[in-house]
Amino acid sequence: MNVTNWILGFIAIVATLVIIYGGVQYLTSGGNEDTVANAKKTISYGIIGIVISGLAYAMVIVVSTVILTSK
């Protein structure tokens, strides 16, 4: 369980950094539509990463609870 928590925490940190990177891209785009669109995609991918890591964490908890209580 410790390894799983570490990996999911790492994924959440990376996704947060991706969101920050997208925000910096957005702020420094200078109104360039292509850069703004790319920044929005980057932010969306970061949010999707956080949601997926949260769902994965919930699945790990549910599966481990089912396995431990079924004995």
Which domain covers residue 52, as residue numbers?
2-69
Q: Is the pLDDT of residue 58 over 70?
A: yes
Q: How many domains does the chain have?
A: 1
pLDDT digit string, tens, across residues 24-34:
999 999 989 99
Checking if the pLDDT of 2 tops 90, the result is: no
Nearest-CA neighbor of 7 among 46, 53, 52, 48? Answer: 53
Kindly tell me if the per-residue pLDDT of 10 is higher than 90. Answer: yes
How deeply is 30 buried, as exposed, middle or buried, from its count of CB atoms within 10 A (0-12, 13-18, 19+)? exposed
Say how far apart CA 71 and CA 58 lie, in whole Å. 21
* Residue 30 phi, psi (nearest 5): 65, 25
* Helical segments of 1-71, H only: 2-27, 33-69
